[in-house]
Structure formats: structure tokens, C-alpha cells
Chain A
Amino acid sequence: METICTVCPKSCNLSVDDRGAVTGNLCPRGETYGRNERLHPVRVLSSTVRVSGAIHHRCPVKTNFPIPKNEIFDAMRLLDDIELIAPVLEGAEVVGPWVTTREMAGA
């Protein structure tokens, strides 16, 4: 298959054969991406959760590791009922694969 690497802005054009061998990548990260894309595509996901007591009402979060592409919307639903309370530290576990991506002081 032909695909475009999403690891960095260079956006290499990759070719991946049926056994997961990758050509067209400029770095080793592209090889991993291409093989995953052929065999079990994964993505790092970002979103926000409610937070109270901070300068904003939302705190940004990400999945701490790439998750299977077909589990993206399940992962999103995990955040629906979460509310953090400031102060929040960066990198704090939220739920499932999600961690915060900024600190938010108590207002």
C-alpha cells in the first residue's frame, strides 16, 4: 500500500508491502509508522476535559500512547463524564489512556 507518513511535517510518501516492509521513509520513525499503518493503524489523540477552579473551563489532554484507530471514538467517550479540579499538573492521569497536557493553577 501507499501512504503518507504523519509522524512529522516532512510527510514522507511511504510504500509498505504485505509483510510490512517500508520504503520511502527518511527516518526510522517512518518505518514504524508505515508498518503499523499496514498491520494495525494507531493514532495519538488529543481532546479536552472539564476543569473547575482554573482560569479556563477546559483542560487539554492526550492519549499517553498511540491507540488503535478503530478505538478512537470509544476513547473520546471516556472523557464525557470527567471533571478535573484545579490545580492540575501536566502529565496527570485522567482516565484510560488520557493524560493532561498542561498545568492549570487554581484561580
Chain B
Amino acid sequence: MHGYDLIVIGGGPAGLAAALAARAGGLREILIVERDIELGGILNQCIHAGFGLEYFKEELTGPEYAGRFIRLLRETDIEVALDSMVVEITPELLVRVIGRDGERTLAAKSIILATGCRERARGPLGIAGTRPAGVITAGTAQRYVNIEGYMPGKCVVILGSGDVGLIMARRLTLEGAKVLACVEIMPKAGGLPRNIVQCLYDYKIPLYLSHCITEICGEKRVEQVRVARVDENRKPIAGSEFAIACDTVLLSVGLIPENELAQAAGIGIDGENIETATPGVFVCGNALHVHDIVDKVTAEAQRAGAAAAAYVKNGGAS
């Protein structure tokens, strides 16, 4: 079986920086496996500026930040498998991939997990009400608008004040939607203060702190949400409830590292260290823990790439 020095799972900012660092560390045969049809990961849909101030000392948009690494990658012979999804890894460092040419199992001397994170969805929130269309995560809306060119709705309420939700409040407003409220259960906003200012205040979008959505109403499509103030135990206060008519609810209520591959293989990840419990398997970026800014993902991924290179060059001893 063909053996790679390193297989990087995920071609977003973490995977790109990790692969480049491993190459700089002396590894020859490197493969990046990416399930999307292009490299860049979530940066491709993050069209707003604000990336790169630490790493490049200038303010870039997401696609520009990704583009810099994609161009560096093109100057190497690092292999890239697009439209290809890793469905299993093993503690023996085998990687099962399903892609355009069917299924294949590849052997690696090291693996870097750079699989990013997922958004928390409606289920775990336990919001009462019906199950109409029009309830989607902020990141899904971002993809619809910025990559696919669809508007998810006309009158929008945002639940949670994570950065993606704030960014989408502005984006949807610019594209002609009415963003009626951003509802945050905590007494403080989740996203960066700069995003509160330039995404909500600039467009006079009300931010309801210490409030929650108690019910989502609507038959086929969202028709309204019911909002209430919460007490210090985050319980709705009786009599404080009011309704907001809307056709769309965006959820911006947290991100969760995507670590199903490691979990299924029994490979332990502690949420802090780029080394997993299995020698030769490393993890970085939002798959390890969720980062506020991509520059820190890049720095962490570079350490993971260097660590994988050192591991392989030492003949499998870290």
C-alpha cells in the first residue's frame, strides 16, 4: 500500500498551514483531503474583512486570507484530493477516503486532523414551538448568501450573539432584509465588541441582552418568535414576554469541534494539545478548540505541521 509521510484531513486554514509547515519541516509526500470542491474551508464564505492583522499585519477578507495559503501551496507538490471525504481513520494510521474515484484506503506515517468545527443547531436548545421552515444556523445562511447567492428570508431574528450571527445581521441588512433583533440569553454579547459596533449599532439593530426565544411559531414557515427577559438563572421572567413577527430565525449559539473521526477510532483529544493520545496523530485549528481569530489557527497549525515532520523524521518517536 502506498504510504504518505503525512495525510492532512481538511483543507481550510488549519490544514493549509499545517501542510505547508510539514513541508518546510522536510516531509516529502503530503496529501490534503478536502471534502468541498475547493480549498479554503469556511474562509471562502467569510467575505468580510478582519482577518490577518496578526499574521500578515494587514486586514484581509476570508477569501484573501485563504488565497495567500492556496497560492503558497500551488508552488509545492503537496497533493490535494478535493471532493473527497475521510470516513475512517485507525490508530494504525490508515485513512479511508471516499472521493470521485470511489473508495480507497491510504497508509500514513502521520495524520493531522484539521476538520474544523460545526455550529450548534436547534435541537440542543430545546426551544418550544412548531418546526417550520426558516430556522437555520448563521453559518448556513452565510453560505446561502455569500457562495450560492440566495437570501434565506426577509424579516430576520438572530438568536445568540456569536460573531457569525453578528456578521450575518449586517450582511442580510445590506442585501435588503430587515434584521429585527439579536437576542442573547447572557448579560453580555458573545461576539467581539468590534462586531457589535460595526454589525449591529451601525445598522441600528436592537440587541436584547438577558433575553431568550421562548417559542418559535408558524405552520409551514416561521411567522413569529416569542421573546422574554430572563432572570439570573437564565429562566424566562413571567410577564416579560413579547412577540416579534419574522420569517427567519438564525441561530448563532456556539461552535463545536468536529472530532467524529478521532472519536470513532478511540483517539483521545484533550482540547488543548496538538498531540492526540495516539502517536503520530495530531490535531489543530477549530477541531482542537474553537478559535476567535484565524491568525491563531494558522500559528497552531504550523506547530502541528512541524510536530508531524519531527515525528516522522525521528522514525515515529515524538
The listed residue (A44, A58, A103) touching B59 by CB distance below 8 A is A44
Q: How far apart sit A46 and B50, CA to CA, in the bound complex (Å)?
A: 11
Q: How far apart sit A43 and B292, CA to CA, in the bound complex (Å)?
A: 22
Q: A43-B202, A47-B47, A48-B47 are in contact. Are A102 and B63 (CB under 8 A)?
A: yes
Chain A residues near B50: list those with CB within 8 A: 8-9
- Closest-by-CB residue of A relative to B201 is A4
A9 pairs with B61, CB closer than 8 A: no
The listed residue (A4, A56, A73) touching B147 by CB distance below 8 A is A56
Chain B residues near A3: list those with CB within 8 A: 197
Q: Does residue B64 face the partner (Cβ distance < 8 Å to A)?
A: yes
Q: A4-B194, A11-B192, A46-B48 are in contact. Are A90 and B146 (CB under 8 A)?
A: no
Q: Does residue A50 face the partner (Cβ distance < 8 Å to B)?
A: yes
Q: Does residue B92 face the partner (Cβ distance < 8 Å to A)?
A: no
B146 pairs with A9, CB closer than 8 A: no
Q: How far apart sit A99 and B145, CA to CA, in the bound complex (Å)?
A: 18
B149 pairs with A50, CB closer than 8 A: yes
The listed residue (B64, B174, B192, B293) touching A47 by CB distance below 8 A is B174
Chain A residues near B193: list those with CB within 8 A: 4, 11
Q: Does residue B75 face the partner (Cβ distance < 8 Å to A)?
A: no
Q: Does residue B148 face the partner (Cβ distance < 8 Å to A)?
A: yes
Q: Does residue B49 face the partner (Cβ distance < 8 Å to A)?
A: yes
Q: Does residue B77 face the partner (Cβ distance < 8 Å to A)?
A: no
A8 pairs with B194, CB closer than 8 A: yes
B61 pairs with A62, CB closer than 8 A: yes
- Closest-by-CB residue of B relative to A5 is B194
Seed contacts A8-B194, A101-B61, A102-B66; 4 additional CB < 8 Å A-B pairs: A6-B194, A8-B59, A58-B146, A62-B47
Q: Does residue B130 face the partner (Cβ distance < 8 Å to A)?
A: no
Q: A48-B146, A101-B61 are in contact. Are A62 and B194 (CB under 8 A)?
A: no
Q: How far apart sit A48 and B64, CA to CA, in the bound complex (Å)?
A: 14
Chain B residues near A20: list those with CB within 8 A: none
The listed residue (B49, B175, B196, B293) touching A62 by CB distance below 8 A is B49
The distance from the CB of B297 to the nearest CB of chain A, in whole angstroms, is 13
Q: How far apart sit A50 and B53, CA to CA, in the bound complex (Å)?
A: 29
Q: How far apart sit A41 and B221, CA to CA, in the bound complex (Å)?
A: 39
Per-residue CB proximity of A74-103 to B under 8 Å, as 1/0? 001000000000000010000000000111
Q: How far apart sit A101 and B46, CA to CA, in the bound complex (Å)?
A: 11
The listed residue (B48, B64, B149) touching A90 by CB distance below 8 A is B64
Q: Does residue B286 face the partner (Cβ distance < 8 Å to A)?
A: no
Q: How far apart sit A61 and B62, CA to CA, in the bound complex (Å)?
A: 11
Q: Does residue B198 face the partner (Cβ distance < 8 Å to A)?
A: yes
> Can you list 18 residue pairs at the A/B interface with Cβ under 8 Å?
A4-B193, A7-B53, A9-B194, A9-B292, A9-B293, A44-B59, A47-B47, A48-B146, A55-B37, A56-B148, A58-B149, A60-B62, A61-B47, A90-B63, A101-B47, A102-B44, A102-B63, A102-B64
Enumerate B1-59 residues with CB–CB distance to A below 8 Å.
37-38, 44, 47-50, 53, 59
- Closest-by-CB residue of A relative to B63 is A102
Enumerate B169-200 residues with CB–CB distance to A below 8 Å.
174-175, 192-194, 196-198
The distance from the CB of B299 to the nearest CB of chain A, in whole angstroms, is 14
Enumerate A31-82 residues with CB–CB distance to B below 8 Å.
43-48, 50, 55-58, 60-62, 69, 72-73, 76
Q: Does residue B67 face the partner (Cβ distance < 8 Å to A)?
A: yes
Enumerate B250-300 residues with CB–CB distance to A below 8 Å.
292-293
